[in-house]
Chain A
Amino acid sequence: FLQYADEQNKDFINEEGLERFFQDLGIELSDILTLIVAWQFGAETFGEFSKEEFIEGFKSLRCESTRDLKNKLPSLKAELKDDRCFREFYQFIFNYVKGPDTKVLDLNMAVELWNVVLKDRFKFLDLWTSFLKERHNKAISKDTWNLLLEFSKHINATMTNYDDEGAWPVLIDDFVEWATPKISSVDKK
C-alpha cells in the first residue's frame, strides 16, 4: 500500500505524483484539504512529499490505504473547528508554502492562501486583500501572517475595538486606519 503511492523519483513524490494522489483521494488541488493532508503528514516542502513523511503520515492517521484516508478526510476537516488546532494548521502552512530559503511569503501566494483558509473566518478578508494590493505590495512576514489570525478573531464588525497601543504589527495598524472610513461609509449606505 505504500508502494501503491505514486513515486517518480524513489524517495520523493513530486508535483505530478501529488496530483495523482490527490485525484485518487477525490480532492481538488485548490481544496483546503490538500493543505490539511500536507499538515497531517508534516510535509516540509511545498509540492512534494518525502517517503518518510508519506509513510509516517499514513501511520499516524491510522490509515492503511488511500481509501481509508479518503474516508478520514471529513473528520480531518472537522478537526479544524477547534481553535487551537486551526491555529497550528494556519501557522504551519505559512512555513510550508514559503519554503525554507526565505523569511517571507510572496504577496500573491499569501493572498491565495488566505482566500482558501480564512474564507468565512475573517470578515474583512476582501478588504484586507485589496488593502495589501493597493498599499503594501511587498511580501508578507511570518509575524504579520500569524497575527492576522488573532486580529481576525479579535476585531469587531465596526473595527471600533481596535487598540492602537496593542502591539499589533504596523501593517495591521495601517490597515485599520485605511479601512475604518470605508466601513463606516458602507454602514451609511
Chain B
Amino acid sequence: MDPNYPETTWNLLRGAISEIHKKNASGLSFEELYRNAYNMVLHKYGDKLYGGLKEVLEKHLDEVAGTVASAQDDDFLQVLNEAWNDHKTSMLMIRDILMYMDRVYVSHNSLPSVYDMGLTVFHSQVALHKRIKNRLLKILLEHIQNERNGEKIDSSLMRNITQMLVSLGLNSRSVYETDFEQHFLSTSSEFYKVESTHFIYSNSCSDYMIKVEQRLKEEMDRVQYYLDSGTEPKIKEVTERELISNHMKTLVDMPGSGLVSMLKDDKIEDLKRMYHLLGRVQKGHDLMREVLEHEVKETGKQIVSDPEKQNKENSYVQALLNLKDKYDNILAKAFMNDKNFQHTLNQAFEFFINMDNRSPEYISLFIDEKLRKGLKGASEEETEKTLDKVMMLFRFIQEKDVFEKYYKQHLAKRLLLGRSVSDDAERGMIAKLKTECGYQFTSKLEGMFTDMKTSSDMMDSFKNWINNMDARDPLAGIDLNVSVLTTGFWPTQSSANCVLPAEVAKCCEIFKNFYLKDRNGRRLTWQTNMGTAEIRAFFTKKHELNVSTYQMCILLLFNSAPQMSYKEILSATGIPIPDLKRNLLTLSSPKYKILVRSKNEQEKDIPEDDVFKFNDKFRSKLFRVKILGVVQKETVKQRTVTQQKIDEDRKHQIEAAIVRVMKARKKMEHSNLIAEVTKQLQSRFRPNPIIIKKRIESLIEREYLERSKTDRKMYQYLA
C-alpha cells in the first residue's frame, strides 16, 4: 500500500469537510468520500481519521466562536442560533460520510460518535467561549426579565437556544442546567421575592392573589413556549414559594382584606382563590383552617354569651342556624367541600355550642316552637329542611341526655294540649332522632305517641258507652276527654293532687269505672296539673273560657261564693302553693281580669289575706278566651332540679356501662376501663373520669367488682 495513502486520503476528506463548513457541499461526491473514509478505517487508520476530524472541528468552531462573540447584543442570539443551525447541518453531512467509522471504529473503541463529538466540541469552543458563555446567559435572562415586565420577545428564538443547550449535554440536561437553568431559577426567585414583598404591602389580599395567579400562569406558559419541560416543576416550586409560602401568614392575617374579613363578608370568589392558591403549598390549608377555626369559634362565642339570649331563646338558636348556613355555603362554594375544612368547622361548632349548658334546652324549645306554630302552613319540603338543619345542631350537642329530657317534657305538653301543628312533622322529627341516636333514645317518645292513639280510640268507645246511658241519668251526655298515659313513657310528674269540684269528680269516677271494667289490675292516677277545661261563663256577655284544670278548680269555687280569700281558696282546692299563686296571678292579671284582687294588681306575691272577687265586668272581644300557660323555659330553680335528675340518671348509666364492660371482659386495667366506658356513653354525654372512678369504687364496695390481688390497677368482675 502506498505509504502516503492515509495522508492523501485524509487531506481529501479534510478538504471536503472544509467545503461543507463553507456551505459548498454541492460539488462533492458523497459516494467517493464515503468510500475513502471506509478505506481508511478498513486499513486501520481510524485513529488518524477520528483525531483529524476533531482537530478540524476545533479549529473551525473556534473561528465560528469569534464571529459570534463579535456580534452586537441585539443580534447575538440570532447569530448564535445561525451558527448552531449551520453546525447541525454540517455535522449531519459529515456523519453520513463517516458512517462506517461510526459503526466500526467508534463502537469498537468506545468513543463518542461523530455527531456527539461534534456537540462536545461545539460546547467547549463556542458555548464555553469566554466571550460567549456569560454573555449568552445574561442576554437570555434579560429577555425573560423584559417579558416579565410586559415586553414582547422572540420566543421561538429563545426556544432554539434553550434546546441547543439541552442538546449540548448529550444524554443529560447538565449543560442546560449549569449554563442556564440554575441561574434562571435563582434570578427568578430574587425577582419574585422583591416583587411580592413590594406588592403585598401596598395592595389588598384579593388583588395580591389575582396578581399571583397571573404570574403563575405566565411562568407555566413560559416553560411551554421556550423552556425545557423539566424546568416546569422547578420554576413552579420557586414561584409558589416566593409568592405564596413566604407571604401566607401576612396574606391571611391582613386586616381589612385577609381571610377573616373575607369570611365575615362572604367573599366567595376571594375565598375560592385563596383556597386554590394556598392549596398549592405545604401547610397552606393548615394555616387557613387554623384561622377559620378561630374565627368561627369567636363568632360562635359571641352568640353564646350574648346577654340578650336569656330573653329570646329562639333567636339564639336561629342565630346558630344562620351561622351554620353561612359557613356551609362557604364550605361548598369556596372550599370545594374539603373534608378537612368540614372537620374544622364541626369542631368549632361543637366547641361553642357546648359552652353554654343550656343549649340542649334552647334547641328543644326552638323545635317546640316550630312544631307548635312555626311550621304552620309550611310545605313538606320546607318542614324537612328546617328540621334537618336543627338536627345538624343537635349532632354537636355533647349532653344529648339533657336534650332528651327536655324534648320529652316539651313533647308531652304538645301532645296533651293538642298543640302540634302537624303529626307528620312530629313523627318526622322522631325518625331523625332515631337515625341519629338509635332506638333506645326514641322508644319512649314513640310510646307517648302510641298512648295518644290508644287514648283516642278508647275515647270513641267511651263516648259510645255514654250515649247508651239512660238519658235520664244526670251524668248522661258528659263531655269528658281522657288521655291515658303509660307511666314509663311520660316525663315523671310530682303527683300532687288537688280537690276537684264535685261535678267533675263524679265524671272522673264514671270514666275510671268504665276503664277498669275491662282492665283489671291497673291503677289510674289523675294528673291534675296537666289537664284543661272549657267553662261557660256569664259576664255581661256569655263567654267560653279555655283554662287549665287548676284554674277550673279555682273558678268553680266562685259558683258558690262571690268572693274568697287566698287562704280559703288554698284549703278548698289543695293546689300546690307555687302553682296556685301563679294561676291566681294569671286570672287576676290585667290581661285576663276574670278575678279582681284586693291587693294591688302589680304585686307579684299573694299574701294570705288577699281576697279575690268574681269580676262580672269582664270584657273580651272574643267569644272563646284562652287562658293557658305556654311552655316556658325553666327557672333557675327548676333547672337545678332537672340537673340533679340528670346527674342521678347518669350515675346509673355509668354503672350499667361499667358492669357491661366488665362482664364481657372479665378483667380490665383501670385506664382502659375508663376509656371503654367513655366510648360507650359518648353518644349521650361526656362522663367525667372522676365520676367514673367513684362509681367503680361504689361497685367494689357492693362487691360487683374487685381489685386484683397482685395489681392494684386491675379490676376483676365478680359474678
**Interface set of A (CB-CB < 8 Å, partner B):** 103-104, 141-143, 146-147, 150, 165-170, 173
Contact = CB atoms under 8 A, between A and B. Distances in A.
B690 A170 contact: yes
Given A150-B712, A165-B671, A167-B713, A142 B701 contact: yes
Contacts of A146: 707
Interface in B694-713: 694, 697, 700-701, 707, 712-713
A31 to B, nearest CB: 29
A170 B712 contact: no
B670 A143 contact: no
B693 interface: yes
A166 B713 contact: yes
Nearest to A104: B701
A170 B670 contact: no
11 contacts: A141-B697, A142-B701, A143-B707, A150-B712, A165-B671, A167-B670, A167-B707, A167-B713, A168-B712, A169-B697, A170-B694
Given A146-B707, A168-B712, 5 more contacts: A141-B700, A165-B670, A166-B712, A167-B707, A170-B690
A170 B671 contact: no
A172 to B, nearest CB: 11
A169 B701 CA distance: 12
Interface residues of B, number: 11
Interface in B666-695: 670-671, 690, 693-694
A122 to B, nearest CB: 16
Contacts of B671: 165, 167
Nearest to B696: A167
A142 B700 CA distance: 9
Given A143-B707, A165-B670, A165-B671, A170 B697 contact: yes
Interface in B654-670: 670
A142 B670 CA distance: 18
Q: Which 10 A-B pairs have the closest CB atoms?
A: A167-B670, A167-B713, A143-B700, A141-B701, A170-B694, A170-B693, A169-B697, A150-B712, A165-B671, A143-B697
Contacts of A168: 712
Contacts of A143: 697, 700-701, 707
Contacts of A166: 670, 712-713
B613 to A, nearest CB: 56
A167 B673 CA distance: 10
Contacts of B690: 170, 173
A83 to B, nearest CB: 13
Nearest to A144: B697
A62 to B, nearest CB: 29
Contacts, number: 34
A160 B304 CA distance: 40
A167 B712 contact: yes
Nearest to B702: A103
Contact of B712 (A142, A147, A173): A147
B716 to A, nearest CB: 13
B533 to A, nearest CB: 51
Contacts of B713: 166-167
A133 to B, nearest CB: 21
A143 B712 CA distance: 10
A60 to B, nearest CB: 23
A141 B713 CA distance: 17
A103 B700 CA distance: 11
B713 to A, nearest CB: 4
A58 to B, nearest CB: 30
A140 to B, nearest CB: 11
Contacts of B697: 141, 143, 169-170
Given A147-B712, A167-B713, A170-B693, A103 B670 contact: no
Contacts of B694: 170
Contacts of B712: 147, 150, 166-168
Contacts of A150: 712
Contacts of A173: 690, 693
A150 B712 CA distance: 9
Nearest to A150: B712
A98 to B, nearest CB: 13
Contacts of B693: 167, 169-170, 173
Nearest to A103: B701
Nearest to B671: A165
Contacts of B700: 141, 143
Contacts of B707: 143, 146-147, 167
A168 B670 CA distance: 10
Contacts of A104: 701
A142 to B, nearest CB: 7
A159 B579 CA distance: 55
Contacts of A141: 697, 700-701
A147 B707 CA distance: 10
A104 B700 CA distance: 12
Nearest to B700: A143
A166 B670 CA distance: 8
A24 B690 CA distance: 51
B672 to A, nearest CB: 11
A166 B669 CA distance: 10
Nearest to B670: A167
Contacts of A165: 670-671
A104 B671 CA distance: 26
A22 B707 CA distance: 36
Interface string B615-628: 00000000000000
A93 B712 CA distance: 20
Nearest to A146: B707
Contacts of B670: 165-167
Interface in B460-486: none
A184 B525 CA distance: 62
A103 B704 CA distance: 14
Nearest to B707: A143
A167 to B, nearest CB: 4
Task: Specify which of A143, A167, A170 lies most central, judged by the most chain B CB atoms within 10 Å of its CB.
Answer: A167
Contacts of A103: 701
B511 to A, nearest CB: 50
A170 B701 CA distance: 13
Nearest to A143: B700
B250 to A, nearest CB: 43
Contacts of A142: 701
